[in-house]
Chains A and B, each alone.
Chain A
Amino acid sequence: MTTKTVSLKIDEHEITAQEGKSILETAIENGIDIPHLCFLAGLTKTGACRLCIVELKGQAKLFASCSTPISDGMEVITNSEKLKAYRKNTIQLLLSERTHVCSVCVANKNCELQALADKLGVEHVAFEREWTSENVDSSHPFLVIDRNRCILCTRCVRVCDEIEGVHALDLKLRGKDSQIIVDFDDSWDKAASCTSCRKCAKVCPVGAIYVEGEPLSETKDTGIADFVLSRRKK
């Protein structure tokens, strides 16, 4: 089997990589940091969070690097002032929806959203916050979903469907009103298809799904999807 390679430039780095990979995957492999939230190695790409946007030389619009495949001669810019400003806006929009209060959150200091806000210098949210009140379901013996903290990245939905293979989780409604649901919008203890595997809690970037009584630093395992896939290939 021959694998075709392509040559491209990401910032100042000249890179040769396997065809078919996305810009983000290629960047990660080469130690180039592009901020991202909804992307998780081993899961399908949705381009939901828009944090991994990059500029391509010669193109006016911005591209989600997680879902844009690399091509020969591509010149990628990952960290221009324009991108920084857009990413800061995106983080602020995420923070202004729902109720993100780090100081009382189970994910405090173990949160990808919080870490990105700090890293990108989002020292305040310029948009008025919504302060919505969403449903919290703690009916499951140990898994809890607090929809107030959900950023709708759908990592849980994808890991449940693609890795665990049961599709117990899905989305209902549209836009910012979207909600993660269990089975047919049942309470979690009534969800027949859930295998209680905890993968949703392992991959949640924030504190929306967690294991009751367990520190999130122990629960979280963002490498789980990639690990399971790598064992399957053998």
Chain B
Amino acid sequence: MPTNAKTKLATMWLSGCSGCHMSLLDIDEVLLDLAKKIQLVYGPLVDIKNFPEGVDVTLIEGAVANKEQVEMLKIARERSRILIAMGDCAVTGNVPALRNSFEDSDQAVLQREFVENSDIQQTIPTDVPKLLKKVYPLHEVVKVDFFIPGCPPPAGNIAYVLTELLAGKVPLMENKSKYG
């Protein structure tokens, strides 16, 4: 059963722009090496509805901005051996967290977007997950094992972290991390 020997990799997309996933795809020929060693079991790149059990490595892009994302993140944490914050939004909050500087920002951003800046149907939607009072980086919600900062993280850094982990080594980010 060759597939069983493969490392199970999942990715997740919270409040981010998907740029980190683009950077993940941008690791060029390293993808071919990875493909031999991993099985992609969940994420926006595959069509699987529920986060599976027993995942080895999960890469998460985006900050935590609403209630659904808190649940998703907690499920990912429970079911993953190693959880990695991928990109500045997941690591620091970044752009989604800019609203944290405003009072009652969960209401204020909706008011601004759906009422003040809207020409038609000026209504705040109610059938979507509720925004949190503040936007959080992943490690303020669950335990995070590794961080790959960057907006987006350089493809080489994602490749480095994944390659080191697959080789059973601990990736070191000194002189490597790249905010912004």
Q: Interface of A with B (CB < 8 Å)?
A: 95, 99, 101-105, 108-109, 111, 114, 117-126, 128-129, 131-133, 148
Contact = CB atoms under 8 A, between A and B. Distances in A.
B147 interface: yes
Interface of B: 85, 88, 91-95, 97-98, 100-102, 134, 137, 139-140, 144, 146-149, 151, 172-180
A109 to B, nearest CB: 7
Given A101-B92, A101-B94, A102-B151, A114 B179 contact: yes
Contacts, number: 75
Given A117-B177, A118-B178, A119-B175, A124 B147 contact: yes
Nearest to B148: A123
A129 B94 CA distance: 11
A118 B175 contact: yes
Given A124-B139, A125-B92, A102 B180 contact: yes
Given A118-B177, A121-B176, 11 more contacts: A103-B179, A104-B95, A111-B180, A119-B175, A123-B177, A124-B137, A129-B93, A129-B100, A131-B134, A133-B101, A148-B101
Given A131-B100, A133-B102, A121 B179 contact: no
Nearest to B90: A124
A103 B95 contact: yes
27 contacts: A102-B179, A102-B180, A103-B88, A103-B95, A104-B95, A108-B180, A114-B179, A117-B179, A118-B175, A118-B176, A118-B177, A118-B179, A121-B174, A121-B176, A121-B177, A122-B177, A123-B146, A123-B147, A124-B92, A124-B137, A124-B139, A125-B137, A129-B100, A131-B97, A131-B134, A133-B101, A133-B102
Contacts of B97: 101, 129, 131
Contacts of A125: 92, 137
Given A102-B88, A128-B140, A114 B174 contact: no
